[in-house]
Structure 1
Amino acid sequence: MNRRLVLPGLALVVLALAGCTSTTGGTANPAASGTSDSATSTDGGGGDGAPKVSSPLDPAKLKSDPCSVLSASQRSTLGLEDGTPRTSEAGATCAWIYTSDETRSSRIDIAADPNTDGLAGIYDLYAKGGKDQYEYWEPADVSGYPAVYAATKDFRAQGQCKLLVGVTDTQAVQVFTQIGNGPGATQPCPYAEKAAEAMIQTLKEG
């Protein structure tokens, strides 16, 4: 099994964005951000094991056309421009810029995680010595799907949040948020969650 951890899989994007984060100018305000920045903890489902995905989703869109996982109406609700395809360590990725941020320093990235055993592989790495490497690890539930907020460096106070969501037992999705302005600049994780919820809805609709 391939258990290469690519959680920092959008690392190149993170590094590129970190240097251009601004605290002035426009403000990114997704329409719904009522969730607190700290993820809601959930039972890990058998000790250190990842929870099972009870209703698997077809991840084909994520792999072939990641920009298609947010519909036009969803982008409008979230306040996002059309997506731009990119390539990262995670493979095919799509990036969306927040329309309200004049500095263009606020964005969402979504990619299918390349690990072949989904969240289970990430949990396994964490259980086998990775605990000391993570500055945050917060299991969560996103629209009924197991997830975890996690990163080896905690840049949430600087507007960055990383979220992995299991859409099947062997496929996780990386959602990365960089918010340069407004409330999300210090509380970015609700933005990642809202994008993940929209993505799940799209995959459910097929």
Structure 2
Amino acid sequence: MPNVLRNRAAVAALVLVSVAVAGCTGETPGTAAPTPGTSASSAAPDDPNVPKVANPLDASAFVGDACKLLPAAAAAELGFAEPGEASNDTSNPACSWHIRGKADGLQLILGSGNREKGMGGIAGLRKAKDSGQLRFLEPGPDVDGYPTVYYGLQDRRARGNCDLAVGIADDLTFSAHAGGYDNEQESCGNAQKAASAVIKTLKGA
């Protein structure tokens, strides 16, 4: 895996894991630690900044292999001819794709670990932003009817790195991280295309 993607993957995983850790330890000042196994969205049911998911999707079949979220044909359309590489570095299953000799990279992370710790969904990312763990969180365009947010330790879209989280249940997201591109249009466009392919996979599961 190219260093650019590896570094981005580490940061992305750190963000997702820090959300879960803060939620289960209660170390974040002013933030009550939810009971493990409960939905993070239930902690703030009236928060207008947290969109509800009208038609939740079941991603349980992909917890053991996040690479199956993106079919080979869909990956090829994004320029990734080689199979994805699974990562077990975090409690959230992940898979990465890259193009040999180029910086372009894609990573998908399923936030099932955050869900188990009661810090899943877009609500969990909102809590991380409110507590200062995330510096950047902004609503994104719906993908196939599912709400999204751009997020990260900082906004890196103008530099060709796009981090997009998609709410597929009130307490579950998956994230598409596209990086190493020349501009925001390419990186976020590919993140959205990958997200759409994942949603189609989940609907067909």
TM-score w.r.t. the length of structure 1 is 0.67
Matched, 1:120 2:123: yes
% identical equivalent positions: 30
- What is the aligned partner in structure 2 of residue 188 from structure 1? 187
- What is the aligned partner in structure 1 of residue 67 from structure 2? 67
Distance in 2 (CA, whole Å) between partners of 1:188 and 1:145 is 19
Is 89-98 or 67-76 further displaced after alignment?
A: 89-98
CA contact (8 A) 2:66 2:109 kept: yes
Distance in 2 (CA, whole Å) between partners of 1:122 and 1:192 is 18
- Count of paired positions: 163
CA contact (8 A) 1:157 1:187 kept: no
Query: What is the correspondence of 1:34-53 to structure 2 with a 5 Å cutoff?
Result: 47-53=47-53
Matched, 1:150 2:154: no
Query: What is the correspondence of 1:1-206 to structure 2 with a 5 Å cutoff?
Result: 10-12=9-11, 47-80=47-80, 81-89=82-90, 91-98=92-99, 102-113=100-111, 114-116=113-115, 117-126=120-129, 128-130=130-132, 134-135=135-136, 137-180=138-181, 183-184=182-183, 187-206=186-205
In structure 1, stretches of 5+ residues that fail to align are 1-7, 16-44
CA RMSD of aligned residues (A): 2.9
TM-score w.r.t. the length of structure 2 is 0.68
Superposition deviation, residue 186 in structure 1: 6.8
Q: Greater helix share, 1 or 2? A: 2
Superposition deviation, residue 51 in structure 1: 1.1
Larger RCO: Structure 1 or Structure 2 (Cα < 8 Å, ≥ 6 residues apart)? 1
In structure 2, stretches of 5+ residues that fail to align are 1-6, 15-44
1:134-182 per-residue CA deviation (whole Å, 9 max, x = no partner) reads 24523331110011011221222322111111111111112111124xx
CA contact (8 A) 1:53 1:146 kept: yes
